[in-house]
Structures are given as C-alpha cells and as structure tokens.
Amino acid sequence: MCINCGCDTTGQPSLHSHDHSHGGDSTLRTLRIEEDLLAKNNRLAATNRNRFQEYRLLVLNLVSSPGSGKTSILERTLSECRDRFSFAVIEGDQQTANDAERIAATGVPVRQINTGSGCHLDAHMIGHGVEEFDLQATDILMIENVGNLVCPASFDLGEDHKVAVLSVTEGEDKPLKYPQMFQAADLLLINKVDLLPYLNFDLEQCKAFARQVNPQIEIVELSCQNGSGMSQWYDWLACALGRKRE
C-alpha cells in the first residue's frame, strides 16, 4: 500500500486503505504495513544502486505533475545529445505506451512500465525494467516517473538524482504545496519559459520558494520548444556523469 494514496505496490487500490479505527489497532497495523513496504522498497533500491554503480551508470528519476513537459524535454535531450551520451529510458505511466513510442522514435532503447491504478514507480519495477538494456553500453538511464508530485517523492528507485520538472503554467507556489518532492530533488527544471510573456507567473518567486524548502537545489530555466536553457541542462548532465565516473 502506498503510504500517501492507499494503492499497493502492484498498482492496485488497497482493499482497506482508510485510516479510521474500528476499536482495535487498525491504525497501528496500517502504519506497520507502510513501514514494511518502504523498508522492502529501500532494500531493492539499494540492490539497484549497487548494480548501477557496477556499470558506473548515471540514473536520473524525472518527477513532476502531469503535463509539465517531461517527455518533451526527454525527446529533445535524446535527439540533441545522442553524440555525447548513450541513453536508455524507462517510461512510467498508468496506462498507454504513448510516451514510450515517442521516445522510441529517437532511436533510444526504451521500456514502458504501466502501473495501472498505481501512482508511482518503485524499485522492484525498475530492477526488472532494466533487464532488457545493455547497461555496459549505457551512460545515462532516464526514468520518467508517473506524473504525480506526492507519491514518487517517498520511493527510492536506486537513482543518483531526482530531477523535478515544473512548468510555468502550473503556478509558482508548487514547491510550497509539495515540499517533500522539492526537498528530495537535486535539480529543478523550470520548463516552458517561452510562455512567460503570456502568463501571470512570478519566476523569481518560484525559485525563492524552491530554495526555501531546499536551499541546495540547483535550478535551470528552459524551454524544450525553442531550446532556451537546454544547453545548461546538457552541461549539468555532463557534470553529473563526470562525478559518477570519478
């Protein structure tokens, strides 16, 4: 059962996920189940991390709300950086293979994971998801998580960094509304900045809110449509890969 929304780790809704008491210790049992699930996930994440370290593979977990532009950022990144890095991609969605088909069109190996009613990817899914990839020949594994700013923050996948994506169409107060996600992220990509002239979005306030909840977070402003800021994102990838292989 997901500790935030009540779905279980197989993506199915819990049969008894409400937390009111029936006169016994149901709340304590629920908490114990949640703790056990996270502990199991963390053990599997450690196994994934050791495996990725063996191949000196940089692993990024891209997280955001739906519609932020994660897939579009990936498409442009894969197309423009194919000569700099070798990639593999895991696409997480509740249903459809639409995003995986878009990624496959770039020529990069991709694996779709559908979670059904589940609201996030977990370490078990990732461990099996990479089995078809040639990790020895891969520099960077991109994991596009299910669009959700709550549950993915709690589940370690064995990644090196969480990369949060926030579009300027969402509102500058997202870091304050969903602080756990932005606390967990090492990098914030503020996307669709080409739309700023047409929106009532305070860019500086958004960055200040992000740094309020996570003073160490790095921030890149970009547009995957007109390409502004993308070179900074690519430089960040190069630096992160370099650190991984030191």
* pLDDT, tens digit (0-9, with 9 covering 90-100), for 74-102: 999 999 999 999 999 999 999 999 999 99
Report the pLDDT value the prediction gives residue 131, as an integer from 0 to 100.
97
Enclosing domain of residue 202: 26-244
DSSP letters along 87-151, please? EEEEEEESS-SHHHHHHHTTT--EEEEE-TT--S--HHHHHHHTTTS-GGG-SEEEEE--S-SSG
If you ran DSSP here, which 8-state letter would residue 85 be given?
A: -
**Cβ neighbours for 138, distance < 8 A, ≥ 6 positions apart:** 55, 57, 86, 87, 88, 109
What gap in Å lies between CA 78 and CA 69, rounded to an integer?
A: 14
Q: HSE on the CB side for 62, CA within 13 Å?
A: 27
C-alpha distances (whole Å) from 207 to each of 67, 114, 178, 220 are 20, 32, 14, 10
Does residue 12 or residue 172 have the better pLDDT? 172
Q: Which of 177, 209, 182, 189 is nearest to 142 (CA)?
A: 189
Read off the CATH number of the domain in which 194 is found.
Answer: 3.40.50.300
Report the pLDDT value the prediction gives residue 189, as an integer from 0 to 100.
98
Mean predicted confidence (pLDDT) in 121-139: 97
| Residue position matching structure tokens 């779905």 | 7
Q: Is the pLDDT of residue 10 over 60?
A: no
In a domain, 149, yes or no: yes
In a domain, 199, yes or no: yes
In a domain, 89, yes or no: yes
In a domain, 16, yes or no: no
What gap in Å lies between CA 198 and CA 78, rounded to an integer?
A: 29
Mean predicted confidence (pLDDT) in 49-73: 97
Report the pLDDT value the prediction gives residue 13, as an integer from 0 to 100.
35
Residues 211-245: tens digit of each pLDDT: 999 999 999 999 999 999 999 999 999 999 999 99
Q: Which of 118, 122, 116 is nearest to 96 (CA)?
A: 116
Report the pLDDT value the prediction gives residue 22, as an integer from 0 to 100.
43
Report the pLDDT value the prediction gives residue 14, as an integer from 0 to 100.
35
In a domain, 3, yes or no: no
Q: How confident is residue 31, by pLDDT bands cut at 50, 70 and 90?
A: low
Mean predicted confidence (pLDDT) in 10-23: 39
Report the pLDDT value the prediction gives residue 118, as an integer from 0 to 100.
84
Could you tell me what percent of the chain has a pLDDT over 90? 83
What gap in Å lies between CA 73 and CA 71, rounded to an integer?
A: 5
Of how many residues is the chain composed?
246
Count up the domains in the chain and report the number.
Answer: 1
Summary mean pLDDT of the chain: 91
Report the pLDDT value the prediction gives residue 36, as an integer from 0 to 100.
77
Does residue 39 or residue 25 have the better pLDDT? 39
Q: How confident is residue 25, by pLDDT bands cut at 50, 70 and 90?
A: confident
In a domain, 5, yes or no: no
Least-confidence region, from 36-40, 201-205, 207-211: 36-40
Residues 143-169: tens digit of each pLDDT: 999 999 999 999 999 999 999 999 999
- 192, two tokens: 């669709």
In a domain, 73, yes or no: yes
Mean predicted confidence (pLDDT) in 126-133: 97
| pTM (two decimals) | 0.89
Q: Is the pLDDT of residue 15 over 60?
A: no
In a domain, 58, yes or no: yes
